[in-house]
Amino acid sequence: MHIDTEGGLCLLHPKRLNALDPIHHPFPGKITNSAIVGEHFLVSTWIERDLSLARLALIDLREPIESGIEMSDLRVAVDSGKSDHHHVAGSVWSHILDAEPLAICEHEQDIVFCTHHRGIYRIGIDSREIWRQKPLSWDLLGDLPDGDVLVDLISVDNSIWAFSLGGGWAEIEGSSGDVLRKGIHQFKSSTNEVWHGDGGNWLVGLSENRMAWWNSEKEKIAVVNVKGPVQDAIFNNGTWMITGWRQDLLWPESRFDTEPVDVSRQEIGCKILDRGEEGFWVLDNSGQWSPFAISGDDA
């Protein structure tokens, strides 16, 4: 599945990675969060702050993807008080949200998402609520503007991990929504996005052109500078493979306390994909695929 910066969707060939169909726009604007649920469903959120509109919708990828209302027509509908009549085109279901959606993930073929100052929810693919958890907070982040605001939810085994803008983290029991433990990383930078690797390894993309490697089992943290925002990362055989602002980076455990290997790329890397025997490839901001710029021998 390919999602572009304007909310366009299309399916990709599993081997050639080219578009199978024309791009369609079920949402009227940029998709803010999304996750694949099971084998056939895409759950996504959309928000338009100027119009005070937000949607959460589930799309069945076995059905043709449809284009919906355009933004100009939606503005007219809002002005006439008919915005509630317009939902995500071709969706299994589409719900109006009364607060900004912040993060979403798949957990055991259910959907876990959070909204601003309203809490965290687990729902089934039929949109039935399973549990809800009140908004997370951390005492030491109370005076930090938006410090408690969640930026990422990640499913790991039986738990869901939540990460906040101010460095807060929490492990949530997946079946009940109970908070098992939580803490704070004092990075002195905002958390933008987080990636999970096995063995309790996490990569945290930070503001101010920084990133951090956190091992939650060994309670170790390393922070390094990068050229720009980290866009994607994969943990492979004890090594972080990272792409971002015109650079690919290789960060093995042997270099935990030092700088990762850095190779420049012409465009901005957006997504890393494991293509099996063909190795790891990067999708850049121009829509082109190319091999990850660093081999294991360079570590």
* Residue 256 in tokens: 């935990």
pLDDT band at 116 (very low <50, low <70, confident <90, very high): very high
Write down the pLDDT at residue 257.
92
Task: Say if residue 83's pLDDT is above 70.
Answer: no
The dihedral built from the CA positions of residue 50, 55, 61 and 67, taken in this order, carries a sign that is negative
Most confident of 73-82, 140-149, 172-181: 172-181
Write down the pLDDT at residue 149.
96
Sheet strands (E) in 101-219: 101-107, 110-115, 119-123, 129-133, 150-156, 159-164, 168-173, 179-184, 191-197, 201-206, 210-215
DSSP letter string, 65-82: P-----HHHHHHHHHTT-
Write down the pLDDT at residue 15.
85
What span, in angstroms and rounded, lies between the C-alpha atoms of 68 and 214?
42
pLDDT band at 283 (very low <50, low <70, confident <90, very high): very high
Write down the pLDDT at residue 72.
79
Write down the pLDDT at residue 106.
98
Please report, in angstroms and rounded to a whole number, the separation of the first and last CA atoms in the chain: 31
- pLDDT averaged over every residue in the chain: 92
Q: What is the longest distance spanned by two Cα atoms in the chain?
A: 62
Share of the chain above pLDDT 90, in %: 76
Question: pLDDT tens digit string along 187-208?
Answer: 989 999 999 999 999 999 999 9
Write down the pLDDT at residue 51.
80
Average pLDDT over residues 84-88: 73
pLDDT band at 69 (very low <50, low <70, confident <90, very high): confident
Long-range (24+ apart) CB contacts under 8 A made by 269-276 are 269/231, 269/232, 269/243, 269/244, 270/231, 270/232, 270/243, 271/231, 271/232, 271/243, 272/232, 272/233, 272/234, 272/241, 272/242, 272/243, 273/17, 274/234, 274/236
* Buried-state track 193-224, b at ≥16 Cβ within 10 A, e below 16: bbbbbeeebbbbbbeebbbbbbbbeeeebbeb
Amino acid at residue number 92: V
* Full-model pTM: 0.93
Question: What are the strands of the beta sheet with 129-133, ordered from one edge?
Answer: 101-107, 110-115, 119-123, 129-133
pLDDT band at 115 (very low <50, low <70, confident <90, very high): very high
pLDDT band at 25 (very low <50, low <70, confident <90, very high): very high
What span, in angstroms and rounded, lies between the C-alpha atoms of 88 and 101?
15
Question: pLDDT tens digit string along 28-55?
Answer: 888 999 999 999 999 999 888 878 888 9
Residues counted in the chain: 299
Task: Say if residue 102's pLDDT is above 80.
Answer: yes
pLDDT band at 18 (very low <50, low <70, confident <90, very high): confident
Task: Say if residue 298's pLDDT is above 80.
Answer: no
Distance of CA 208 to the CA centre of its chain: 19
Query: Please, what is the Cα angle at 88 between 82 and 93, to 5 degrees?
Result: 105
Write down the pLDDT at residue 84.
67
Write down the pLDDT at residue 1.
83
Question: pLDDT tens digit string along 221-271?
Answer: 999 999 999 999 999 999 999 999 999 999 999 999 999 999 999 999 999
